[in-house]
Chain A
Amino acid sequence: MATPAERAAKTFQSFIEGKKVLIADPGAAARAGLAKALNELGVKMHQIQLAKSYDEASRLIHEHKPHLVLAEFELGKSSGLNLLQEQRSQHADAVKSLFVLVTSNTSQSAVAQAAEEDVDTFVLKPYTLEVLRSAILSAAVAKLQPSEYSRAIEEGKRLLFDGKPKEAMELFEKARKLDSKPALAFFYHGQAQLMQKSLDGAEGDYQQGLNHNKIHYKCMVGLYELLMEKRSFVEAYDVVKRISRYFPANPKRMTQVLRLAVMTKSYEDVERYYQVFTGLDRRDEELIKYICAALVVCGKHYLQTGFQSRALSLFEKAATTGIGRANLLREVIGALLAYELKKEAGEFLAKFPPEIRGGADYLAMEYAIIDADADAAHAVDRGRKILAKDIHDPLVYQILIHRSRQAGVDENADQLAAEAGRRWPDQAASFSSGSHPLQKARK
């Protein structure tokens, strides 16, 4: 009578027979070791392709369509995790392929990303052969000989995909009785509820799923998205905070967290998220934009509430993180001038990169700072000189119009307002009013 381990080995060997395998690892010795380990599991050496870089692995996946991929997380310019989607693009039925991450990177972000992406299993380096073998065989058995619970869920998912939510719900209800912690069944039941526009029903399902498993990723995300749809931002923020605690590396998630932190006025949280942000391995442009914007909004809040040094600290962080971003510096300088912090505004003006100091953004902010200490005549003269250089910026016009009226040159102010209105029709009202753009902010 075969032992479970022997049966698992046989299952794997039947699965892998005649199929291609890819090992993607920048280390030659690591690739050799994994190939040897697979050979001992019954994989023939001619079935195994080796790749030392992401690009090479991607090419081999498209060429050979491997059913088993062993990938290192760190593959140079791209994460090995991205190969999962490439493999899945070659095998529409995910049940027929296996993806194993074999990596020394056990940082929270790496593990969380792997779980989020639905990798089949995760093996730490250095590994023992026993651990590697056990991980691969367990993943193979789970995929190829799913439990009754998993089968019911997969069948239900197929019905959902076919647009049959009622029939799918029956299967998920059956599945719930087949596992002691059926969070996944609750999640899909919730998805079926959503398809039938029952938001409350879906919310109940996700919550029940989380009662069984507090960190069930799909239930957390499902609940978050539903709360956003219901515009329950405070509750949504609570959920996304929880998600980001375990899945900090997803830049898209971070941007959602930041947006909600600002919307719910959770300004202290923004500073904590900044610390998380500084620890991230990868930061995309959108995330940088969001963190900078959040820091500036928080800074403005602290200026408003009298915490000047805290505001300056946040502005400093924003300027450092969003280095060279003119629009960011404009926001900061504008906020500081609105609170008459001219010296500090000048310090941020100095952060403009030299190569853009001849441009509209820099000249406009320089003008705003000079205007703060100048009399009307001097301010008008300065403004006209900027326009004479063919530099056109709404702020320059707004200040110049206001100062022209102050100087008693109303006809000139009217002409400028008309011209500015033509250039920027959506701001026409602000030009006509002639009020100072930065003094308005303080109110």
Chain B
Amino acid sequence: MSSDGDLINPADFRSLAFEVSLHNDTTNTALQEGKRVYGKKRSDRSDEDLSIRVLELAPTGMVLEVPQSSCSRGHRIQIKLSTLNAPERIEIEALAQVEQWERMENGKERIEVRFLRHDSKLWSDLLAVFSARQQEILDFFHAVKGD
């Protein structure tokens, strides 16, 4: 809180984001640091958009946007997730199964994954961070609108 008792310190508004890497146990391929990895071999291609985006968070899984041909329905993938700009950095590793798979018009794929093995406490902490930030922002938002 700032010295004049304002609702929120504007300096707290930093976009939360994730660093994500993925290893497909079923196909033994991976997406790490913006590169594709086939077994032990790292591809040098730089013309592909290999970004992974977290779209939705769920109690026992999540929805991701992944590059094409990363995985398919039923595949088992290991996901490593780290928060960026959170009050405390949270790092999670989870084993998940691809429950839903859909190819998008831009060539990327939307996958829904369910955790098979993960640290449920850490995952709850992460959901709480996002939830708290959502609430903080909504509180500020409604305060300035005065509605």
Residues of A within 8 A of B (CB): 27-30, 32-33, 104-108, 111-112, 114-116, 118, 121-129, 131, 135, 142, 150, 181, 183-184, 187, 209, 213-219, 245-246, 248
Contact = CB atoms under 8 A, between A and B. Distances in A.
Given A107-B14, A245-B10, A129 B56 contact: yes
A29 B108 contact: yes
A122 B133 contact: no
Contacts of A33: 55-56, 63, 110
Contact of B146 (A106, A107, A129, A216): A216
Contacts of A111: 13, 137, 140-141
A127 B146 contact: no
20 contacts: A28-B105, A28-B106, A29-B65, A29-B109, A33-B56, A108-B13, A111-B141, A115-B145, A118-B145, A126-B54, A128-B59, A128-B127, A128-B130, A131-B131, A184-B146, A214-B6, A214-B7, A215-B140, A216-B144, A217-B146
Interface string B124-147: 000100110110011011011111
Given A30-B65, A112-B144, A131 B104 contact: no
A127 B110 contact: no
Contacts, number: 123
A214 B59 CA distance: 37
Given A104-B17, A115-B140, A214-B6, A28 B104 contact: yes
Contacts of A216: 143-144, 146
A18 to B, nearest CB: 27
Contacts of A116: 144
Which secondary structure characterizes the binding site on chain B?
Answer: mixed
B122 interface: no
Contacts of B11: 108
A184 B146 CA distance: 6
B105 to A, nearest CB: 5
B17 A131 contact: no
